[in-house]
Amino acid sequence: MSFCTAVAKIFKDAGLQDIMIESEIVAPGSLKGVLSGKHYNCCVRAHKMMYEVMERLRFQAFEKTLSTLEKGDIHAIDINVQEDKERRKFMEICASDKVTDMKMLYDLFIEKQCEENPLFAFWSKYIEMVQLLLLYIRATRTSDWTLHLSSLRSMIPCFFATDRVNYSRYAPCYWLEMMCLDETHPWNVRHVFFFFICSLLKLWLQALHRTGPYKGKMNMDSQVWHVVKQLNRQDSKMKGGMVGMTLNKGAAHRWLMGRVEGSAITKQCEAMANVTEVTRLRKNLDKTRIEADEKAVEDVTKTIKSMINPFANEHDELVHLASGTIAPLQVAEDMKTMLQKGETAAVEFMKTHIISDLNQTYTQR
């Protein structure tokens, strides 16, 4: 949420809020909550729509600079992607020579235009920042620890550049501590507990098959189903879940550490026994939602084209997309170097306030 606020602080007065209101992807009464990130779902959706439109407009500007042969290569790549509806060859297509060469040309185009056109460079930073936001969300949803730390590290300069004081102070502390986790906590209790539970589950299945009332009568599916019922009853510590939870700190700690792994084992057993129903992954992938989002993207595209297209213009200055007002020279220079200044400030803060022997994290910024 704080990163969404940082993005809005940079771009809202450059035309972002005008585009959102004029294209009707955000209601005027909800604009403040969306830009601040307090209306989280609406905020992420609005930035997704803006990101998609900006990326399309930038790529359209890139296509105009290509030769007929290069445009034919893009068309061939597009056909291959559309034919691969089940995405079985998607990674193979992305790793092909044509895609690699086209990406190289695209990167060179962006680099050249950013040097020549300040408006192009400014809104390219918006694309990069929203990409960073989406990567952070992806890391959280997929439990990708490496991506989580990498995206957080890339966010830190933005916090410093936009004066997000609390996150500027504590995000570097958190990042440094997590980067040193292998050295400070080399023995991960969760992994040991997980392998212990897996071994216990295997022994339990073997015992059910050899002894007791199920001797010689249970196949693998029935064994798994029996375990599923047992784990469902024990999915929480007791019948009432947290009700009646022990006050013993050691027992409570062990229960909390094993709760996630226990739930994962339950789901895996249900999948093995074919007792779970396959439901939709996310509502964003519903056909109706895809159609609604595409319409929103078209509305935003029309709105931007009725104003100033940041990727196809002849302006030599940083201007407001809606009004065309030219930004002062000092403001334009600050916008150009804000992330570099934020990175410098972040590194200096980590060196002098965290890594240094002088513990000044809580007294100075």
Task: Decide: helix, strand or coil at residue 308.
Answer: coil
Structure tokens at 9: 């602080």
Q: How many Å apart are CA 152 and CA 147, to the nearest integer?
A: 8
Tens-place pLDDT, residues 126-151: 999 999 999 999 998 888 888 999 99
Over residues 203-209, the mean pLDDT reads 53
Beta carbons within 8 Å of 224's beta carbon, 6+ residues apart? 205, 269, 272, 273
pLDDT confidence of 119, banded at 50, 70, 90?
very high
Q: How many Å apart are CA 303 and CA 24, to the nearest integer?
A: 10
Considering only residues 46 and 279, tell me which one the structure prediction assigns the higher pLDDT: 46
Is the model's pLDDT at 110 over the cut of 90?
Answer: yes
| Secondary structure (DSSP) of 253-277 | HHHHHHHHHHHHHHHHHHHHTT-S-
Structure tokens at 161: 């550049």
Structure tokens at 65: 């600079």
Residue type, 154: S
Q: What is the pLDDT of residue 358?
A: 61
DSSP 326: B
Q: What is the pLDDT of residue 240?
A: 44
Considering only residues 183 and 214, tell me which one the structure prediction assigns the higher pLDDT: 183
- Window from 101-110, 183-192, 238-247 with minimum mean pLDDT: 238-247
Considering only residues 338 and 268, tell me which one the structure prediction assigns the higher pLDDT: 338
pLDDT confidence of 91, banded at 50, 70, 90?
confident
Considering only residues 258 and 19, tell me which one the structure prediction assigns the higher pLDDT: 19
Beta carbons within 8 Å of 128's beta carbon, 6+ residues apart? none
189-210 vs 220-233: helix crossing angle, rounded to 10: 130
Q: What is the pLDDT of residue 259?
A: 67
Q: What is the pLDDT of residue 248?
A: 74
- Window from 185-194, 297-306, 337-346 with minimum mean pLDDT: 185-194
Q: Please give the radius of gyration of the chain, using alpha carbons only, rounded to the nearest integer.
A: 27
Q: How many Å apart are CA 276 and CA 278, to the nearest integer?
A: 6
Is there a contact between 317 and 121 (Cβ–Cβ < 8 Å)?
no
Question: What are the boundaries of each domain within the chain?
Answer: 2-186+289-316+330-349
Tens-place pLDDT, residues 228-246: 445 444 444 444 444 455 6
Q: How many Å apart are CA 100 and CA 94, to the nearest integer?
A: 7
> Which conformational region is residue 15 in: left (phi greater than 0), alpha (psi within -120 to 50 degrees), or beta?
left
pLDDT confidence of 249, banded at 50, 70, 90?
confident
User: Average pLDDT, whole number, for the chain?
Assistant: 80
Q: What is the pLDDT of residue 242?
A: 46
Considering only residues 345 and 181, tell me which one the structure prediction assigns the higher pLDDT: 345
Q: How many Å apart are CA 272 and CA 27, to the nearest integer?
A: 46
How many beta carbons lie within 10 A of that of residue 16, not counting itself? Answer: 21
Over residues 180-198, the mean pLDDT reads 59
Is the model's pLDDT at 204 over the cut of 60?
Answer: no
DSSP 328: P
Beta carbons within 8 Å of 56's beta carbon, 6+ residues apart? 297, 301
Is the model's pLDDT at 256 over the cut of 70?
Answer: no
Is the model's pLDDT at 304 over the cut of 70?
Answer: yes
Q: How many Å apart are CA 363 and CA 365, to the nearest integer?
A: 7
Over residues 23-41, the mean pLDDT reads 90
Is there a contact between 118 and 337 (Cβ–Cβ < 8 Å)?
no
Considering only residues 283 and 113, tell me which one the structure prediction assigns the higher pLDDT: 113
Q: Which of 265, 268, 205, 11 is nearest to 123 (CA)?
A: 11
Is there a contact between 208 and 226 (Cβ–Cβ < 8 Å)?
yes
Over residues 190-215, the mean pLDDT reads 50
pLDDT confidence of 98, banded at 50, 70, 90?
confident
Task: Give me the helices (H) in the chain, please.
Answer: 2-11, 16-22, 31-36, 40-63, 68-83, 90-94, 97-116, 118-142, 145-161, 165-179, 181-184, 189-210, 220-233, 249-272, 287-306, 329-349
